[in-house]
Amino acid sequence: MQLNLKRWLGAMLALSLSLIVSFVTINHFDAIVAWIAKIAGATTPFIIGLVIAYILDPVVSFLTRTFKFGRGAAIGVLYLLLLVILAGFGWLVVPMVIDNASEIIADVPRLINMANTKLSDSGILQNETVQEALVSIRGRLAEWANILLSNLTQGLMSVTSAVFSTMIGIVVSIYTLIDKKRLQASMVRLCRAAFDDARAQSIFDWGAKVHKIFSKFMTGLIVQATIVGVLSFVGMTVLGVRYAAIFGLLLGLTNVIPYVGPFIGAIPAVGITLLYNPLNALKVAILIVVVQQIDANLVGPRIMGNYIGLRPMWIVLAISLGGSFGGMIGMILSIPVAAILNIVLVHVIEKKEKMATEADDTI
C-alpha cells in the first residue's frame, strides 16, 4: 500500500511539474526562443570548433599511428597542410569560380532571351498555364532581387560574423585536439559518477555506435564531395563547357545530399548548357551520370561502406523531414540521425522479441 502511494505521489509530482513547465513555456515562448537564440549565438564558435576537431581527429590519429608523430606535432603538421591546401584552393579555384559567377550574372539577360526564344519556337509559350507560371516566376525573381538588395548590408555583417566565429572555432579545435584524452577522461568520470556501472557502460556502447556512424558520414561527405566536384570540373573543362568551375563546385556541394543532391546540382548545369549547345548539354548529362556511378560504386563503398542501413525510401523521407525543419543543414544531418534512430529501433524490437521468446520458453 505504501509503495503504491509513493508511486502515485511520484506520478502526480511529475504531472504537476510537466503542467507548470508547459504553462511557463507557452506564456513566455518568445522570450524563451530569444534566450535560446542568444545562447546559440554565443556558443556558435565553440560548436564550430568541436565540429572541426571531430572531423580532423581521425587524421591526427592516422598521422600519429603511421608516422609516429607526437600528438602535438601531428596537429601542427595537419594544420600546416590545411593552410597550404586552402591557400592553393584560394589561388587556383576561387578566381575561376568568381570569374564564372561574374559571367553568369552578366549573361542572365541573354540567357533569359535565349530561353524565351527556344520556348517560343517550341510553341510552349502559347499555353495559358505556362504564361501564368512565367509571370509568377518573373514576379518572384523581382521580389527576391529587392530582398537581396535590401538585406545586402545585413548579409555582409553575417559573413563577417561567420568568418570571426570560424577563426575562433579553429583556435577552439586546436585546443580540443590537444586536450582530447583529458576531455574524454573527464566525460567518463562524470558519466560514472552520474550513473551506475551498467547504465554508464550502456551509454559508452551507444556513444561508440553513434561515433562510428557520424565519423564515417563526415569523412565520406567531405571526400566524396571533393572527388565529385573535381571530376565534374575536369570533365566539363575537357568538353569545353561554359562555367565549368562553378558547375563543378555546385555538383560537389550538392552531392552531400544523398539521392536528391545530384539532381539539384545537375539541373542548372544541364539547363544553362542546353541554352548554348544542346549537344554539350547531353554530354554534361552523361558526364554527371558517369561521375555519380563512380561515386556510388567505387568511392562510396570504400569510404562509407554500408553504414546507413536504410532503404532509399526512408532516406528520401528523412531528407524531406530534415529539409523542412533545418534547411540545408537539416537535409545533410538527417541521414546519420535516421541511421541512429534505425539502430535504436532495431535494438528495441530485438530486445522485445528476446523477452517474448524467453517468456514462451518459461511457459
Residue 24 has pLDDT above 80, yes or no: no
283 vs 333, residue with greater confidence: 283
Percentages helix, strand, coil for the chain (3-state, rounded to 5) are 90, 0, 10
> Is the model's pLDDT at 148 over the cut of 70?
no
What burial class does residue 361 get, using C-beta atoms within 10 Å of its C-beta: 0-12 exposed, 13-18 middle, 19+ buried? exposed
Give one DSSP letter per residue of 28-69, joined into a string.
Answer: THHHHHHHHHHHHHHHHHHHHHHHHHHHHHHHHHHHHHHS--
The cell for 361 is 520458453
Cα distance between the two ends of the chain: 30
Average confidence (pLDDT) over 289-303 = 81
Dmax over CA atoms of the chain, in Å, equals 87
In angstroms, rounded to a whole number, what is the distance separating the alpha carbons of residues 58 and 64? Answer: 10
Q: What is the mean pLDDT of residues 108-124?
A: 69
Q: How confident is the model at residue 153 (pLDDT cuts 50, 70, 90)?
A: low
198-241 pLDDT per residue, tens: 888 888 888 888 888 887 787 778 888 899 999 999 999 999 98
- Report d(CA 269, CA 287) in Å as an integer: 11
Tell me if 119 sits within 8 A of 125, measured CB to CB: yes
CA dihedral (353, 358, 362, 363) in degrees, to 10, reads 10
**Alpha-carbon 358 to chain mean position:** 43
- Report the pLDDT averaged over residues 148-165: 65
Cα dihedral 256/257/261/264 (nearest 10): -100
* 240 phi, psi to nearest 5 deg: 75, 30
- Top-ranked range on mean pLDDT: pick from 2-16, 132-146, 154-168, 341-355: 341-355
Cell of 194: 552520474
Residue 84 to residue 92: CA distance in whole angstroms: 12
Cell triple for residue 359?
517468456
Give the residue from 318, 319, 266, 272 showing the smallest Cα distance to 292. Answer: 266
Percent above pLDDT 90 for the chain: 12
C-alpha cell at 115: 530561353
Arithmetic mean of pLDDT over the chain: 79
Instruction: Quickly list H helices, 151-260.
Output: 152-178, 180-194, 197-239, 244-254
Q: Per mean pLDDT, which of 254-258, 276-280, 285-289, 351-355 is the most reliable?
A: 285-289
Structure confidence at residue 324 as a pLDDT band (50, 70, 90) = confident
pTM: 0.71
Cα separation, 239 vs 270, in Å, equals 13
Statement: residue 316 has pLDDT above 80: no
